[in-house]
């Protein structure tokens, strides 16, 4: 598949009302804000989208809303369809193809885990086959799934079973394995980088695209990292990457999901609270966080 997820891809938040119900009216504002921020593609219903805290019907409704909102625009939509139930994954993938999404992606089942690389390939193949006309990206995120196999070996075995395999969403800090994936089979696969704090390192290894949660609210910062790297200004690139690290550490100190969604609210995009088991900030914490973000220049 010839698609390339180059540039910044925002792993979007799923918007909720204060009571926790879906608030899909916010999607239009999310799309406008991201497009204005320099983001060209959204990755919906993934980890940042709290996919494992959504029902199947909610995930179907989310994908339908996003594809409706971006129709006729330049913003592309990748639908994450991974789930512990492969039948649900296939349902989501089939819908994504019907909605003419840009691509699908799926992480590994994480409760009953695949016990071998061959079993992982079999799971991914089942999901990808439900949307054979769309490019498929395997979503490698071992820190969350607990499923850790060699991704270079995955790229050796998977194409025979997954003809629409486009590449890997590589949310894994193993830069050596990342470099090997970039060069697998003559470099034919698209391997967007998925660890925001290490973007500069990935660029040095050859990354051309990146999928991340903090691109929702800090895309201009990362565009500075990319521009400085491309111009050979490593001093600026390193300084901006350090600002990214400090931002993410700040949010993680409050509980990353709730703090990240609160940050979107500070920017005028009311994506609402996080769902349990993720937590949310108290009123005092919201005031404190906003002050810290403003002091760091992150809301300007």
Active site (annotated) includes residue 139: yes
Residue reference for tokens 């969403």: 169
Q: What is the DSSP string of 173-223?
A: --HHHHHHHHTGGGGTSB--B--GGGHHHHHHHT--EEEESTHHHHHHHHH
Burial class (CB in 10 A: 0-12, 13-18, 19+), 28: middle
Active site (annotated) includes residue 113: no
Which entry of 4, 157, 169, 224 is annotated as an active-site residue? Answer: 169
Say which residues have a Cβ less than 8 Å from residue 10's Cβ, sequence separation at least 6. 34, 39, 41, 42, 43, 211, 212, 213, 215, 216, 219
Which entry of 139, 178, 222, 256 is annotated as an active-site residue? Answer: 139
Q: Which residues are catalytic?
A: 139, 169
């Amino acid at each position: 598949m010839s698609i390339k997820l180059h540039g910044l891809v925002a792993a979007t938040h799923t918007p909720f009302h204060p009571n926790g119900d879906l608030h899909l009216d916010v999607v239009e504002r999310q799309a406008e804000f991201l497009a204005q921020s320099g983001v060209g593609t959204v990755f919906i219903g993934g980890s940042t989208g709290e996919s494992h805290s959504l029902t199947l019907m909610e995930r179907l409704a989310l994908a339908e809303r996003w594809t409706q909102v971006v129709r006729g625009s330049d913003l592309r939509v990748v639908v994450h369809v991974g789930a512990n139930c492969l039948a649900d994954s296939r349902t989501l993938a089939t819908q994504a193809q019907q909605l003419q999404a840009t691509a699908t992606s799926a992480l590994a089942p994480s409760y009953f885990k695949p016990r071998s690389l061959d079993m992982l390939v079999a799971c991914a193949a089942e999901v990808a086959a439900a949307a054979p006309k769309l490019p498929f990206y395997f979503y490698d995120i071992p820190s969350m799934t607990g499923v850790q196999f060699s991704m270079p070996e995955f790229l050796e075995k998977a194409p025979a079973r997954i003809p629409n395999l486009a590449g890997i969403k590589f949310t894994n800090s193993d830069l050596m394995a990342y470099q090997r994936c970039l060069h697998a089979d003559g470099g034919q696969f698209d391997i967007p980088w998925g660890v925001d704090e290490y973007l500069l390192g990935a660029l040095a290894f050859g990354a051309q695209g990146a999928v991340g949660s903090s691109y929702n609210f800090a895309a201009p910062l990362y565009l500075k990292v990319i521009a400085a790297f491309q111009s050979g200004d490593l001093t600026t690139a390193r300084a901006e990457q350090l600002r990214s690290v400090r931002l993410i550490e700040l949010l993680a100190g409050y509980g990353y999901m709730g703090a990240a969604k609160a940050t979107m609210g500070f920017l005028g995009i009311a994506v609402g609270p996080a769902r349990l088991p993720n937590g949310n900030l108290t009123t005092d914490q919201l005031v404190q966080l906003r002050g810290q973000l403003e002091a760091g220049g992150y809301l300007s």
